[in-house]
Structures are given as C-alpha cells and as structure tokens.
Amino acid sequence: MRLALLEDDADQARILATWLREAGHEVYEFSRGRDLMRQAMRESYDLFLLDWIVPDVSGDKVLEWLRRERHCATPVIFVTSRESEEDIAAALGAGADDYVCKPVRRLEIQSRITAVLRRTGHHPQEGGQLDVPPFRFDIPTRQAAISGEPVELTEKEFELAVFLFRNLGRLVSRGHLLEVIWGKTSDIATRTIDTHISRVRSKLMLRPEKGFRLVPIYNFGYRLERVSATANEAVKTVSE
C-alpha cells in the first residue's frame, strides 16, 4: 500500500516509517501540512496518516481540505498526542476513519491500518477472483473474461486492469500506477502508462454504453467509473 505520513517529529516519523516499510508499505513522509497538500494534488495514496499539531497547516485542516476541497475519499487515520474525547469525536466527525493516540504501538498501528483499508474497500484480496460483473479476473491464472468470454491481456495489462477495478471510482495518479505495476525504481515513461491504459480500455470495452468508462484526469492520472443506467440512456439518446 502507498501511505502518506504527516509527522513533524523526526524520531517519531522515522520509527513509524520503518515499521510500515517492514510491513511491506511504501511510505512518503511529510513534516509540514502544506507539503503534503501540494503533493496530494499530483499524487494519489491508499491511506493518509496525519498528526494533528504540525507546522503551517495542522492535520485537522489537511483532513478538511482532503474531504471538502479535493473530494478525496482516501482513508485517513489520525496519529496524535491529542487524546481528549472531544478531539477524537471532532476528528471522526470531520471524516477521519480511525484515531490512534500516542505513544504508538507497532502491532496496533499495523492492525488498524489493515482494518481501515479492509473496511473502506482499499485492501486488495490476495488470490482468488475479482468479480465486477460482467468482468471477472482470475488472479492465480491471470485470466480475464467479459460475461464468461476470455479476453487476451498481457501481463502488465492484466495487472493494470485488476488495479483499476480494485480502485473503482478512485482517482489514481500516474505515479501510483507506475509504482504498483512497474515498480518504484522503474524508468518507464508516462507515455507507456498511457499506451497500456488505451489498450486496456479497448480490450475490455470500457465505454459508457458498456457501463464503465476510464477517464483521463489532466496532469494527474485516471479514474475508472461505473456509468449508471440513466447516463447510458443519455448516451443512447445523443447517439440517436
């Protein structure tokens, strides 16, 4: 998982980042709220870990910005020394998904992250099948099908399709796609991502009249959306 950590205490940030990286996460560290906000305008994450009291823009203001201005539904966990009942209620009421009081314990924070990601639908299920009718992706055999009919996808196209369907409705950045599909140290050009996106869109027929659309977001990335029956009717009417 790709995690953004807002923590201005260098020692605390180092400890948390080490624990989370050892658990298999990619961690991006920020000591100032404004730096995280600036990056969140260009990159997507699977989860935000926010301290409350940090320089310039506090964690609660970052949360408000994510929810109200960015319309970002990415899970948020507060990790902070503020432990009053009023503070916890305020954070959860403002859209936080969980609240952890310092001092942080290793197994607890890892378990809470897993629980929040699972509860919000961001935690990928290993193995088995991913079913988003009419699409089915068999993970062990890396086979894709539409309404039971096999679809030929390359290895990277399959991985990209599975990632997009697991993140249905979410805006994901090109950097996020690059990291997940090609690896963090890859030198793949962004046009390679766009080419693979185009092939996946074509092979899986991700068009409004088929109930889905893969939307490019200028200067950011892509979002796979489910199109409602009403929208489909509008498409048909326009075409007629």
Higher pLDDT, 6 or 119: 6
pLDDT in tens, 22-39: 999 999 999 999 999 999
Tell me the whole-structure pTM to 2 decimals.
Answer: 0.84
Domains along the chain?
A: 2-119 (3.40.50.2300), 129-239 (1.10.10.10)
Comparing C-alpha atoms, which of 53, 88, 75, 67 is closest to residue 3?
A: 75
What are the pLDDT digits (tens) for 132-157? 999 999 999 999 999 999 999 999 99
Paired tokens of 137: 């992706």
45-71 per-position pLDDT tens digit: 999 999 999 989 999 999 999 999 998
| β-strands 76-80, 47-50 pairing | parallel
Q: Using one digit for the tens of pLDDT, what is the confidence trace for 157-182?
A: 999 999 999 999 999 999 999 999 98
User: Using CA atoms, how far apart are residues 84 and 6, in angstroms rounded to an integer?
Assistant: 20
Average pLDDT, the chain: 90
pLDDT at 54: 94
Neighbours of 9 (CB within 10 A): 15
